[in-house]
Structure 1
Amino acid sequence: MLSLNRKTKGEALFDLLNNIGMLLICFVTLYPIWYVVVNSLNEGMDGMRGGIYWWPRIFSFENYTAVFQNPGIMTAMGVTVAKTLLGTILHVFFTAMVAYAFSRRELIGGKIYIFIGTITLFFGGGLIPTYLLMKDLHLLDNFLVYIIPVMFSFFDLIIFMTFFREIPDGLEEAAEIDGANDWSIFVRIIIPVSMPVIATISLFHGVYQWNDYFAGVIYMNNMDLQPIQTYLYRVVAQSSSNQMVAQIPGGIGKTVTSQSIKLATMVVTTMPIVFVYPFLQRYFVKGMMIGSIKG
């Protein structure tokens, strides 16, 4: 009798083909990133010859030195870090606060609010009305244009609300007996036990804030307030990266090129999120499962 754990030839062939397919998908996904990193670590003038696919031909950090010594890039990076941190904190706190109210069964008109909010998931005002609204609110060329319009998300509210409804009512009842009000319950009890879903939403919105370039393109004319992604977008779209080389202190620009600085800037703008994700991954999976599937 064959062992139950022994695979048939068909199953073994399927597993082999499945593994090969997954490896191909991983390669197609990861190789473009590897290509950018490798070329960013190669000397710029030598990189113009091409033929660099797997490893730098002439290893050099001068591209990154040029990036970090460019005042425009570093200013844009500071704006991006500030808007990502502040925007994520305010988005998570404000959305969680509204979601906690929506999660209460005794909320009068709760179903109506949810219905109205659901409509916003499918319909929006459009770019021109939104721009006019930002103008009337005096948010053009204002750092708060990165924060206020995205402080709330109804999609994230649904995840928060579903998670909050899974928290045992006994926790809140015990706190109420001890004299805690709704605000104290939310801050001292609900927030600490909701770290998985908070990490999930933080990752969602943090990646959005870090990668967002559109708000800087549409609402920002002040170059000192543009984020790094908008800076990179304008460099690529307007082919003005030669200005970046011109701003490099003397002695460095001899071996770097506009293309090599573009590649190094792409790596600098991408790596922070890549490094943060592994630390939030376990919370991310748990938060998505509890906040989205249970109900």
Structure 2
Amino acid sequence: MRKVTLSIAAAVAIASFLAVAPTPSRADNAGIVPSGIMRNVAGIVTHSGGRVLQVGTAFFVAVPSRAFPGRSFVYLVTAHHNLLDEYGKPRAGLSLTLEDSKTGAMREEPLPLESRWVLDPLAEKADVAAIPLTPEGASIAPIPLGSLLGNDDPLARPETGAQVYYLTAATVGVNQHRFEALARFGHVSVPDPADTEVIGAGLQQLSYLDGGSAPGFSSGAPVFVSAGLRFALWGILEANTSLNTDPVFSGLAGVLPARFVAETCRKMGEVQDKTLQGSKGPLPE
């Protein structure tokens, strides 16, 4: 229970992660990605031989504070296997790529070690990890907790063929690097989760979309499904499943249901609320 208890307590001990609660984004027209949603993603990179190597994708989630109405806790979420190397050991030297809110240029922020991240409190082997993180001066728009689909939401089991999209982070430009959020579209292939072996993460319960060409650094990307003007987080992309040799799922990309993200972030919010209520200091600005 190291990840679920000790790590949560250590990660949320600092109260400076409070932020103004964001407003859920809506599309101006059906089928168009809402502009506000495009700024919830970030890239996970490492450096080797003077080169920047893309490892995976991460995104931000905002959990409303019960202790301080109008404020939210902001968490960075990704697929847990992005934090591990090919031997299952914690990666060193990982950084987050973000857009600077003043210059629009790409910048990097060092990521905490894997041991400080929090896993799902109900399913620790689920391929999800989160940590409180609000990069100062970065242009981000966290996904509201209310936009994460749970099992009781009809959108959590979309119809086969329903359109979905996922977001990844990219750095463009040669001399002057610029951050870009990229949207890639697909369709639901398997709505109901099924057991799948994920490289680097073990057995997972995944749904599927027809994204067999998803690049490896897409693992951890947020996957959205829409119904009219409503956009909601369907889950986390598992790009590694595109290498699956099972003919049933060959050419498809797995999606870890959003409920695992919701469970993890909601629990962290509860712990952080208790930490703040127990402190005697003033509410951070």
Range of TM-score over shorter length: under 0.3
TM-score, scaled relative to structure 1: 0.22
Q: If each structure's strand is expressed as a fraction of its own residues, which one has the higher value?
A: 2
The TM-score normalised by the length of structure 2 is 0.23
Structure holding more helix per residue: 1
